[in-house]
Amino acid sequence: MPELPEVETVAAALRRARVAGKKIRRVVVRCEKLRQPLVAAEMEKLAGRKVDAIRRRAKYLLLELDSGQVLLLHLGMTGTLRLDEQDTAPGRHDHLDLELDDGRILRFRDPRRFGLAVLRRPDENGRIAELAALAPEPLSDAFSGDYLHRISRGRKSPVKNFIMDQRRVVGVGNIYASESLFRAGIRPTLPAGKLSRPRCQRLVEAIRDILSAAIAAGGTTISDFHGVDGSEGAFVRALKVYGREGKPCPECGRPIRKTVLGGRSTFYCPGCQR
């Protein structure tokens, strides 16, 4: 569910809601079985800590604490963070509550439990194990046409799988991979190593454009994703191929096709994408 724009939307909302600077008054853990165990005894030590800053790296959300620790959150497929008013009853899949000193409750909900919530202390170089092998941010200068061209030489996997690999570039998931490739005019099945340098440049620009526009729209809500206030992401209306099998391509009118790559639904226009 949540790709980079959704996580950035959540991070921005938490900043706007002034969560940084608040103290955590109380912690409630209701379910310990996530991607990694959510250890209640450890999380409860967060009581009394202050949130210093909210950051995002790839699809991870980082709450930096005044203890020097970082609460690392990943929303998996169905994770959401909500800021509820005091005394709101928890839902069936609300696994973790952080009650702030102003009474609001930051709630991590995740029905499928592919998400992650762990406390980490960065090493002397400021590094966190889970983040160590991640590729450059797509909106940074490090992600360039030259970079993509260089790392894709000799690679035979479909370019869609390649750009969804978090060791190549982070933040691009199943929706934005299809949308970016449509924008770049590149067929998702094309082996990554066959992309020319100009086409790599075009793809990099397309990824940047799509992700930026999605962030500006507050992300994409298909069914699960919601902002911290429960609002829906408006980028769903801007999708040109994702979830549109059989419907006319907005550019050329030919029917959008669906195929499966790496076990994931993939949408493209057979006319516009070569």
- The one catalytic residue in 49, 56, 59, 183 is 59
By C-beta, is 144 or 221 nearer to DNA?
221
- The one catalytic residue in 2, 5, 138, 158 is 2
* Footprint on residues 20-49 left by DNA (CB under 7 A): 33, 35
Helix (H, G, I), strand (E, B) or coil at 152: helix
CA distances from 140 to 122, 160, 212 (A): 23, 20, 12
Our finding on whether 120 is near DNA (CB under 7 A) is no
* Footprint on residues 207-266 left by DNA (CB under 7 A): 219-225, 233, 262-265
By C-beta, is 97 or 110 nearer to DNA?
110
Residues in the chain: 274
By C-beta, is 100 or 200 nearer to DNA?
200
Query: How far is it, in rounded angstroms, from Cα 31 to Cα 58?
Result: 25
109 is catalytic: no
150 half-sphere exposure, CB direction, 13 A CA radius: 7
* Footprint on residues 48-87 left by DNA (CB under 7 A): 58-59, 74, 76-77
85 is catalytic: no
Torsion of CA 126, 130, 134, 137, to 10 degrees: -70
Taking alpha carbons only, the member of 26, 4, 57 closest to residue 212 is 4
Contact with DNA (CB under 7 A) among 6, 94, 97, 179: 6
By C-beta, is 28 or 234 nearer to DNA?
234
Angle formed at CA 47 by CA 101 and CA 84, multiple of 5 degrees: 45
Our finding on whether 195 is near DNA (CB under 7 A) is no
264 is catalytic: yes
Q: What is the residue whose two structure tokens read 């604490």?
A: 65
Query: How far is it, in rounded angstroms, from Cα 189 to Cα 109?
Result: 35
Asked if 129 contacts 120 with a C-beta cutoff of 8 angstroms, the reply is yes
Count of residues that bind DNA according to CB under 7 A: 40
By C-beta, is 52 or 165 nearer to DNA?
165
59 is catalytic: yes
- The one catalytic residue in 22, 57, 208, 264 is 264
Contact with DNA (CB under 7 A) among 55, 93, 120, 202: 93
Radius of gyration of the chain (CA): 20
What are φ and ψ of residue 132, in 5° steps? -65, -40
Amino acid at residue number 207: I
Which residues are catalytically annotated? Answer: 2-3, 59, 264
Interface residues toward DNA, by CB under 7 A: 1-3, 6, 33, 35, 58-59, 74, 76-77, 92-93, 111-114, 130, 155-158, 161, 164, 166, 173-175, 219-225, 233, 262-265
